[in-house]
């Protein structure tokens, strides 16, 4: 027993030294305040009382988007009429995506689904305690909250709960439908809420992309290239026409394959539901960021923050995202591998160095990323690389290295050449280039990094 007081003293000393060393962990903060860019823009422009204006924009954002800890969208009248809520994106999914979500749930919640099925088959009066795998956490909490009487045995598994939203429909259509079936359906068609996806973003993406997706996470500051600032709504590796917002499926595919040659990993091991949820959250961050930028622009133009203008900004930004699918870039059929002859490659080389496609001006005559057009005169007359939208110096890809960030397949390169790369100096292809021209360019670019049967690209 004599040991105890000294142990306590030791522990106290340890704690005291830990506190007194002044170590403060770099905690990300969540706030609905406007960004520094917005403040700077308002202060610079002819806006009276820019602090007040910033606060009003911040307040408007909170009205339209909730707070980062309680996110949600302000529903417009049209949406209410259409019963649409972008915060519950399950209804936006394509059939294919919805099936993939169900498939993913069957694997992810296999233990829960097994338990419910067993209870139904055994005709148990109540649901047994469901297994609690690590990743089931939040879904499990939601399930237990929704199905509490069933889990506690207060409602019989076989009977329909009178409060059940589907009770009325089900008993009319199918008298054998039970509340146990509904529990099963919960797991099979589980879809994360915006809050749950935000939490997943915090555990998986925050290190690099930052708490509000500004690309300013603790790890992101040291990366080259820098992580995407998601608040711009501008993405580099899209499947749409130039300067359009990305499609849902395109973003999911991007998350699944990662971005080669950068620190963006492939999140293929997440279930489809989790990926769709992350896309919901990425869209939330982008729509919020774009609305902030556009509202600020309107405020600078009008000299004041007008509610009507913020509403206009909200509608305009949503318009961009809603029409994304209409601008999906369908890739026309190109030559099959057997049809890619030396002539096709030679035609591509000619175009690459010609003035119409003009690739060589930045990528260099031999595609080594050493063209002259990337240089410009800096503010102090120095020779510097042209900057991209995010202020980073441009490094046109060395095409002989065989590492293509947007994907190295022929279709991926077709899209890069056709639509360009958003936010960078890589433009969309000149409209006078035909499909065959672009395919020829694709195969010339691919030929630069191929070594003809030898491994080791």
Residues that bind other proteins (CB under 8 A): 91-98, 219, 239, 249, 253, 256-258, 260, 263, 265-266, 268-269, 325, 328-331, 333-334, 336-337, 340, 408-412, 415, 443, 446, 450-457
Q: Least distance to other proteins from the beta carbon of 99, Å?
A: 10
| CA distances in angstroms from 240 to 72, 309, 446, listed in the order given | 27, 28, 22
DSSP at 390: T
Q: With CA atoms as reference, report the closest residue to 213 among 239, 233, 195, 193.
A: 233
Question: Residue 336 CB, nearest distance to other proteins (Å)?
Answer: 7
Nearest to other proteins of 64, 352 (CB atom): 352
Q: Give CA–CA dist 265/451, Å, rounded.
A: 27
Our CB check for other proteins shows the closer of 359 and 446 to be 446
Smallest separation (angstroms) from other proteins to the CB of 337: 4
Strands 383-385 and 66-67, by their bridges, are unpaired
Give the integer Cα–Cα distance in Å for 57 and 67: 13
d(CA 411, CA 164): 48
Please give the structure tokens belonging to residue 273. Answer: 């539901």
Handedness of CA 319, 275, 217, 241 (dihedral sign): negative
Shortest CB 330 distance to other proteins, Å: 6
Instruction: In angstroms, give the least distance from the CB of 100 to other proteins.
Output: 10
Residue nearer to other proteins on the CB measure, 51 or 96: 96
Q: Look up residue 93 and give its DSSP letter.
A: S
Considering the complex, state which of residue 3 and residue 333 has its C-beta at the smaller distance from other proteins. 333
CB closer to other proteins out of 8 and 268: 268
Q: CA–CA separation, 282 vs 288, rounded Å?
A: 10
Which run of H or E residues covers position 376? strand 375-377
> Cα–Cα distances in Å, from 245 out to 7, 72, 95, 391, 434?
61, 20, 21, 21, 24
Could you tell me the smallest distance in angstroms from the CB atom of residue 207 to other proteins? 8
Closest CB to other proteins among residues 288, 443: 443
Exposure of 266 in the CB half-sphere (CA atoms within 13 A):
10
Closer residue to other proteins (CB): 74 or 253 = 253
**30 vs 91 by CB, closer to other proteins:** 91
Q: What's the closest the beta carbon of residue 96 comes to other proteins, in angstroms?
A: 5
SS3 of 67, please?
strand
Element (H, E) at 36: helix 36-44
The Cα 228–Cα 209 span in angstroms is: 7
* Residues forming beta bridges with residue 66, ordered by sequence position: 71
For other proteins, which is the closer residue by CB, 138 or 325? 325
In 339-384, which ranges are continuous DSSP H helix? 342-353, 360-363
Q: How far is the CB of 381 from other proteins (least distance, A)?
A: 38
């Amino acid at each position: 027993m004599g040991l105890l007081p000294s142990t306590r003293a030791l522990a106290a000393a340890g704690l005291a030294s830990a506190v007194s060393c002044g170590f403060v962990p770099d905690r990300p903060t969540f706030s609905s305040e406007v960004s520094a860019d917005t403040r700077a823009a308002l202060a610079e422009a002819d806006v009276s009382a820019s602090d007040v204006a910033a606060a009003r924009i911040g307040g408007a954002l909170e009205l339209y988007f909730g707070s980062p800890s309680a996110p949600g969208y302000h529903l417009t009248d049209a949406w209410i009429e259409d019963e649409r809520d972008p915060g519950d994106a399950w209804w936006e999914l394509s059939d294919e995506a919805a099936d993939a979500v169900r498939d993913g749930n069957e694997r992810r919640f296999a233990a829960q689904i097994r338990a419910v099925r067993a209870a139904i088959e055994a005709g148990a009066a109540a649901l047994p305690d469901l297994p609690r795998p690590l990743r089931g956490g939040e879904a499990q909490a939601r399930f237990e909250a929704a199905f509490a009487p069933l889990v506690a045995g207060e409602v019989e598994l076989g009977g329909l709960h009178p409060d059940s939203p589907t009770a009325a429909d089900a008993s009319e259509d199918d008298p054998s439908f039970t509340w146990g079936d509904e529990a099963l359906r919960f797991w099979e068609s589980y879809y994360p809420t915006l809050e749950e996806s935000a939490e997943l973003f915090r555990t998986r993406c925050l290190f690099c992309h930052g708490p509000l997706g500004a690309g300013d996470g603790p790890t992101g500051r040291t990366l080259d290239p820098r992580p995407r600032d998601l608040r711009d709504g501008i993405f580099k590796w899209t499947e749409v026409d130039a300067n359009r917002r990305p499609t849902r499926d395109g973003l999911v595919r991007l998350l699944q394959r990662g971005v080669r040659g950068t620190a963006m990993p492939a999140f293929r091991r997440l279930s489809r539901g989790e990926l769709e949820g992350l896309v919901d959250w990425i869209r939330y961050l982008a729509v919020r960021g774009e609305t902030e930028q556009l509202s600020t622009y309107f405020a600078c133009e009008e000299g004041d923050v007008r509610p009507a203008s913020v509403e206009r900004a909200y509608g305009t930004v949503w318009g961009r995202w809603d029409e994304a699918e209409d601008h999906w870039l369908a890739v026309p059929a190109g030559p099959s591998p057997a049809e890619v002859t030396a002539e096709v490659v030679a035609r591509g080389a000619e175009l690459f160095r010609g003035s119409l496609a003009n690739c060589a001006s930045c990528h260099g005559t031999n595609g080594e990323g050493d063209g002259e057009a990337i240089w410009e005169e800096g503010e102090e007359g120095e020779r510097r690389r042209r900057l991209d939208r995010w202020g980073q110096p441009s490094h046109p890809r060395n095409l002989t290295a065989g590492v293509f960030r947007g994907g190295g397949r022929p279709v991926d390169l077709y899209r890069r050449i056709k639509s360009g790369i958003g936010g960078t100096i890589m433009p969309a292809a000149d409209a006078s280039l035909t499909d065959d021209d672009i395919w020829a360019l694709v195969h010339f670019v691919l030929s630069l990094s191929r070594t003809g049967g030898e491994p080791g690209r």
